[in-house]
Structure 1
Amino acid sequence: MTGKAVRVSQTTITELMIPAYANFGGKIHGGILLSLMDKVAYACASRHAGTYCVTVTVDKVEFLQPVEVGELVSLHASVNYVGNSSMIVGIRVESQNVKLGTVNHTNSSYFTMVAKGDNDKPVTVPPLILEDGEQVRRFIEAMRMKEIRQKMKEEMHDAKSTVDLSQATEMLRAERCIIQMA
């Protein structure tokens, strides 16, 4: 299978933030931004895979600054890593106030997408051709993120199976909760 360069599938979507997207304070709802991130992740991943893709996980959603009504939001997506059928797409969100000429980095996130065939089964995606040091760094960072996510999943599974309710009172003593079991 022939590889594809990162630049081939890089995708940017820009959208005007309208009042219907905002809360009562005039700030854009996080769910609107997540929906737009999902769209750009799909566009980027499907360009690389050459087939339909689905979102599997969303990691590290950071809302760094609010987005205001009237701003232009640009979502920049790039395939950072490929596995057999999965891809990790890095997304950088920037808002632009056209009146002031300012651009703010407002959000970052990583979406894991899986390529699907006509039978709805995962299909192999092309290898990723890395053409510069930044792309190599992002690929390695995504590999590590994937490893950490797997370790965390295993640790959470272990934690669920080892919770001893008789120790709960002591474990939760310094937390902001009240245990009132009948």
Structure 2
Amino acid sequence: MKGKTKRESTTMLTQRMLPQDANPAGNVHGGVTLKYIDIAGGTVAMRHCRTNAVTASIDRMDFLQPVYVGDLVTFKASLNYTGRTSMEVGVRVEAENMFTGEKRYCASAYLTFVALDKDGRPHEVPPLILETDEDHRRWREAEARRAIRKQERQRERESQRAAQTASLNEQGDDESC
């Protein structure tokens, strides 16, 4: 399968935030920001693999500054890493005050997407061609995040098995009384 560069799928989504996007505090609701992060990230993933791609996880969602109603918000998304069927996309969120022109770095996130074939099964993705030192750095950091996610999933499985075993043992003790 022929590889692709980050430039071939990088996406920038711009959205003006309106009153219906506000939370009770009057700022843009975090869930609205997450929605657009997911849309921008999914666009990158689908442009890279040219098939359907679904969100598998969101990593490191950091809200750094509030987004206000009336702000013009830009979601800059690019591919960091590809596995066999998965891809990590980084999204940076910047808000611009339309009256002053002031721009603020407001949020960032890393998302993992899985490519799907027409039957909804995981589908192989093209490899990512790394062109710059920054591409290589982002790849290494994504590999480290991937390793941490795998370790966390393994710990969760072990914890769940231990809880199930303890529950079964407690049930067995109750029956012997």
Partner secondary structure for residue 59 of structure 2: strand
Structure 1 residue 147 corresponds to structure 2 residue 161: no
Percentage of matched positions with identical amino acids: 41
One-letter amino acid matched to 1:24 = P
Aligned to 2:157: 157
RMSD of aligned residue pairs (Cα, Å):
1.4
Aligned to 1:62: 62
Cα distance in 1, alignment partners of residues 117 and 58 from structure 2: 22
The alpha carbon displacement at 1:162 in A equals 4.5
Q: Indicate the larger mover: 91-100 or 67-76.
A: 91-100
Cα distance in 2, alignment partners of residues 47 and 161 from structure 1: 39
- TM-score (structure 1 length as normaliser): 0.86
- What do residues 56-90 of structure 1 show as CA deviations (whole Å, max 9, x unaligned)? 11111111110000000000000100001100000
Aligned to 2:29: 29
Aligned to 2:103: 103
Q: Indicate the larger mover: 9-18 or 120-129.
A: 120-129
Aligned to 1:174: none
Structure 1 residue 129 corresponds to structure 2 residue 105: no
One-letter amino acid matched to 1:44 = V
The alpha carbon displacement at 1:161 in A equals 4.3
Query: Paired residues, what number?
Result: 165
Partner secondary structure for residue 138 of structure 2: helix
Aligned to 2:7: 7
The alpha carbon displacement at 1:39 in A equals 0.6
Cα distance in 2, alignment partners of residues 134 and 63 from structure 1: 23
Cα distance in 2, alignment partners of residues 112 and 104 from structure 1: 25
Aligned to 1:178: none
The alpha carbon displacement at 1:122 in A equals 1.1
Partner secondary structure for residue 92 of structure 2: strand
Structure 1 residue 86 corresponds to structure 2 residue 86: yes
Gaps in structure 1 of 5+ consecutive residues: 166-182
- What do residues 74-127 of structure 1 show as CA deviations (whole Å, max 9, x unaligned)? 000001000011000000001011212211111110110011111111111111
Gaps in structure 2 of 5+ consecutive residues: 168-177
Partner secondary structure for residue 143 of structure 2: helix
- TM-score (structure 2 length as normaliser): 0.89
Cα distance in 2, alignment partners of residues 117 and 86 from structure 1: 13
